[in-house]
Structures are given as C-alpha cells and as structure tokens.
Amino acid sequence: MSKIAQDIIIAPVITEKSSNEIAEGKYTFKVATDATKTDVKKACEELFDVKVTAVNVSNYDGKLKRQRYQLGRTPSYKKAVVTIDTEGKDITYLGKGGKDVKVSKKYKTSIEDFGFGV
C-alpha cells in the first residue's frame, strides 16, 4: 500500500471507554477502510514516534437512517485499537567480553496529540 500515514489514520475516537484505556497504553483511531494492521502500525510509529506492540481492527457497517420518506445509510468505517509500549526502561544485554551494554529507548511512552490533554 502506498498511502502516507496521514491518509491511514483519520481521527482519534474519544469515548468514555477509550479514555479509560489510555492508562493501559491503548489508543483508539478511526482508520481508512482499506488499511491493514501493518499499515496502521507503521503509520502510528511514524506519526507519533511510539513503539506499537499490538493492533486490533474491527469493521463497522453503516446504520440505516430514515429522513421523512427516504431510507439511507450512514457511512461504514474501520476502527483500530493500538497498544503501545508504555515502559520507558533501558534495555541491557551482554556485549563482547561479558560487558553490560545499556541501550536507551528512542521512542515516547504516550501519545500527547490524542485530542485532549493526558
């Protein structure tokens, strides 16, 4: 898919449930209907500079609505719940000669631009 990240992630979904899940590192977005999980993961990592650990996607059909005598549908959409890595700890491992090597994580542990101040 050759879409840019701004075309994949359309808008944040701000509900009571999604606001409560922010503490667990889960953010909810309305995404493009043809976007895959890997597209959503790459777009989140590029836009918000975070490490994505999991992406759950669900499709929603439009509801039937009636205006006077005409029947119509609201647009269908796709929603993605993105789980990010919220632990900002440094990673240590053994390098050459048995020395401890410490690598700091170069990504953020929360998304500040989510639509309201967290």
Predicted confidence (pLDDT) per residue in 23-52, tens digit = 899 999 999 999 999 999 999 999 998 999
Q: pLDDT-derived band of residue 110, with 50, 70 and 90 as boundaries?
A: confident
Go through the domains of the chain in sequence order and give each one's CATH number: 5-103 (3.30.70.330)
Are 109 and 84 within 8 A, CB to CB?
yes
For residue 17, the surrounding DSSP H or E stretch is helix 16-21
- Exposure string of 34-59, with b = 16+ CB inside 10 Å and e = fewer, is ebeeebbbbbbbebbebbbeebeeee
pLDDT digits (tens, 9 = 90+) for 63-98: 999 999 999 999 999 999 999 988 867 777 788 888
- Whole-structure pTM value: 0.79
Is the pLDDT at 1 greater than 50? The verdict is: no
